[in-house]
Structure formats: C-alpha cells, structure tokens
Amino acid sequence: MNKNILKNRKAILSAALVIAATASAFAQGNGIAGINEATSMVSSYFDPGTKLIYAIGAVVGLIGGVKVYGKFVRREVA
C-alpha cells in the first residue's frame, strides 16, 4: 500500500513539474514578444522626440542670442 502511495506522489510531483516548466516556457515567449513590442514603440517615439529637443534648443538659443545682443548694444559685456 505504501509503495502505491509513493508512486502516486512521484507521478503527481512529476506532472506538476512538467506543467510548471511548460507554463514558464509560454511565459517567456510572451515576455519576449512584449519586450519586442515595447522596443518598437520606444523606437517610434525617438525621431519625433529628437526633433522636439532640437526645436527647444533652437528657441533657447535664439532667446540667449537676443539677450547677449541686448547686453552688447548696452555695452554691459565685461
């Protein structure tokens, strides 16, 4: 009787391990797909983000140039 219980426990444990390994394999596949999708989404925002940073830099540069020109005209430049 004890041998049958031991065999049943081993069979149940083996089945649980196989199910766990299969589930983790499916989870890894979906995880990789999710990472690839996130990478493509971030890449799609890169070009517009770069153009936005250039535009902000141009505006800041123009404002700084006007301030320097005003100080130069008033002879405040040290």
pLDDT at 69: 93
* H/E run at residue 49: helix 2-73
Q: Find, among 73, 42, 41, the residue nearest to 65 by Cα.
A: 73
Q: What is the mean pLDDT of residues 55-65?
A: 96
Cα Rg, the chain, nearest whole Å: 33
Segment 11-43, tens digit of pLDDT: 787 777 777 777 665 655 567 777 788 888 888
